[in-house]
Chains A and B, each alone.
Chain A
Amino acid sequence: MSSQPKILIIEDDKDMVEALKIILEGESYRIDVAFDGKQGLDAVKKEKPDLIILDLLLPGEDGAVISRKLKNSSNYSNIPVLVLSALAKKIEDKILSQAKEKMLEVDEYLDKPVSPQDLLEKVRKLLKTRR
């Protein structure tokens, strides 16, 4: 069994998923993918990831709801969540203050499109926190 950390990507845009996989697999991370919130939660229960990369705008339940469910769960609350969103930059302060008020449960966020360096830096930082 590989000792490389496992990252779950929850994102409905297949092209974005492909882009993220290329960046992350280049650093030998193991990648699992889900295309909506329900699939994502099922994937977490099946095999607990070391980190979740989560899009905010998902079909069905949005990323904020999924994140809250994870953070409110005793089994999964310690999994770091990195939000990627086309909205993130526009409401930067609001997301941070909401996170503090536990309205939007995220550990970090990045604005799309992400630079590979920024993404890898955030991932390394969150994985260190997890360990």
Chain B
Amino acid sequence: MNNYNSNKLEKIMGDRFGVEILNSMGLAVAVVDRDFNIVWANNEYHKIQEEPERSIIGMKCYKVSFNSDTPCSERICAVRRTFKTRKNSRGLKVIEKAGREKFLEVFSFPLYSPRGKMEYGVEVIQDNTRLYRLVELSDRLTAYASHELKTPLATINQLTSILCQIELPSEKRNDLYGRIISRSQHGLKTVENFLIYSRIKAEELEIKPVKINFYTQVIKEVLDFHTEYALDKGIQFFCDIPQNLEVVCDSDYIQVIYNNLITNAIKHGGERACIFLGYLDRGDRFHYFNVANTGEIIPKKDREIIFKRYVSGEEKGSGIGLDVTRELVERHGGKTWVESCYISSGKCLWEKDLSEKAMEEAGFQQGNNFIFTVSKSLVSS
């Protein structure tokens, strides 16, 4: 229901029917006089301008939209063009509100008083910000996918062409075959992530939880996949997940979670890092799993945003792996986050507020601890 005086608008338009049409469009509408004063605006217009509490009636439209003291040029302002040409006009407007850009499509048309004079312009705004962001995200995702897939394919192609063109001893040939297999498996995992991501965005992802032996059906599989590649970098894995642990979950998607977290750990752990896979039962409604690594420590200010990089689109060159991880964990009724920890061979201490000095003296290194939980309330499908 419009709070901003429909009677006044009816007086301006001389036409109640026209007022009803404007109110029922569901779009942001404002009426502006020849001096660019806003003489009427509906609720939606106030919302788009982020002014739900105060009335903008009587304010200059360029002040409201751009916080400017000078009128906009004809190039930018559809209403101004309407005043000049006495015709409908259309344009795009980008305004900044609460630190974020809004992408607005603007339609303007002349409004004649009952005396037949064109005294006002009507500005109708459609907020296309979400659409713009989706297109931008789609473009970035396409560019990212192209590069993420081209890199392993280029390397596979490179290794294969060498095998075809250069005589090599059998030991070297076997080494290259192994590298080709490893890179193609990683490429397939990348594609898998994109497929999952697209299903998440299309709201088509369903998990099928089943009671499984967690160590055999998840941990062993992921360790088998990653160990050889990690050995090449001198990385060591440690695991203290109980071998008899039973969990109700979708093992395929939990493997994807581990693949993403381990890939991340290998990337940031660097040469000779320690990667620790652990489990805690705190006696509450959740299973707690962690993947911890020594190496490059994630700053506190980045710990929240790294799971949302592709959602927020704020970081350049970020992957979708952690975004997919977050979504899959939430489908299992859990949460994921990262905090610091201390790691020594075979041990990972989760507790916060440990003395850094004491830990280092005891031979522990500081690390990143990626934790995710799975609800104990999931029911086998």
Binding partners A and B: yes
A interface with B by C-beta (< 8 Å): 13-16, 18-19, 22-23, 26, 86-87, 112-116
Q: What is the 8 Å Cβ interface bit string for chain B, positions 147-161, against chain A (1 contact, 0 not)? A: 100110011011101
Question: Can you name 6 A-B pairs with beta carbons within 8 Å?
Answer: A15-B155, A18-B175, A19-B155, A87-B147, A112-B158, A116-B162
Q: Which residues of B contact A15 (CB under 8 A)?
A: 155, 158-159, 179, 182-183
A-B contact count (CB 8 A): 47
Selected contact of A23 from candidates B150, B166, B182, B183, CB within 8 Å: B166
A35 nearest in chain B by CB position? B271
Q: Which residues of B contact A87 (CB under 8 A)?
A: 147
9 nearest A-B residue pairs (beta carbon): A113-B158, A113-B157, A112-B154, A19-B158, A113-B154, A15-B179, A15-B155, A86-B150, A16-B155
A115 nearest in chain B by CB position? B161
Q: Which residues of A contact B179 (CB under 8 A)?
A: 15, 18
Does chain A have a CB within 8 A of B165? yes
Does chain A have a CB within 8 A of B222? no
**Given A15-B179, A23-B162, A87-B147, 15 more pairs with CB closer than 8 A:** A15-B159, A16-B158, A18-B159, A18-B175, A19-B158, A19-B162, A22-B166, A23-B166, A26-B166, A86-B151, A112-B154, A112-B155, A113-B157, A113-B161, A116-B162
**CA distance in complex: A112, B150 (Å):** 9
Q: Which residues of A contact B147 (CB under 8 A)?
A: 86-87
B interface with A by C-beta (< 8 Å): 147, 150-151, 154-155, 157-159, 161-162, 165-166, 168, 172, 175-176, 179, 182-183, 232-233
Q: Which residues of B contact A116 (CB under 8 A)?
A: 161-162, 165-166
Whether B155 lies near A22 (C-beta < 8 A) is no
Q: Which residues of A contact B183 (CB under 8 A)?
A: 15
Q: Which residues of A contact B150 (CB under 8 A)?
A: 86
**CA distance in complex: A86, B151 (Å):** 7
Whether B232 lies near A114 (C-beta < 8 A) is no
Q: Which residues of B contact A14 (CB under 8 A)?
A: 232-233
A19 nearest in chain B by CB position? B158
**CA distance in complex: A14, B161 (Å):** 17
**CA distance in complex: A15, B181 (Å):** 11
Selected contact of A22 from candidates B151, B168, B233, CB within 8 Å: B168
**CA distance in complex: A113, B180 (Å):** 14
Q: Measured between C-beta atoms, what is the minimum distance from A109 to chain B in Å?
A: 14
Q: Measured between C-beta atoms, what is the minimum distance from B271 to chain A in Å?
A: 8
Q: Which residues of B contact A22 (CB under 8 A)?
A: 162, 166, 168, 172
Q: Measured between C-beta atoms, what is the minimum distance from B272 to chain A in Å?
A: 13
B158 nearest in chain A by CB position? A113
Q: Which residues of A contact B151 (CB under 8 A)?
A: 13, 86
Q: Which residues of B contact A113 (CB under 8 A)?
A: 154-155, 157-158, 161
Q: Which residues of A contact B157 (CB under 8 A)?
A: 113
Q: Which residues of B contact A115 (CB under 8 A)?
A: 161
Whether B155 lies near A13 (C-beta < 8 A) is yes
Q: Measured between C-beta atoms, what is the minimum distance from B17 to chain A in Å?
A: 56
**CA distance in complex: A22, B232 (Å):** 18
**CA distance in complex: A46, B358 (Å):** 37
Are A86 and B162 also in contact (CB < 8 A) when A14-B232, A22-B168 are? no
Whether A114 lies near B166 (C-beta < 8 A) is no
Q: Which residues of A contact B154 (CB under 8 A)?
A: 16, 86, 112-113
Q: Which residues of A contact B168 (CB under 8 A)?
A: 22
**CA distance in complex: A19, B165 (Å):** 12
**CA distance in complex: A14, B165 (Å):** 20
Whether A18 lies near B176 (C-beta < 8 A) is yes
**CA distance in complex: A18, B155 (Å):** 10
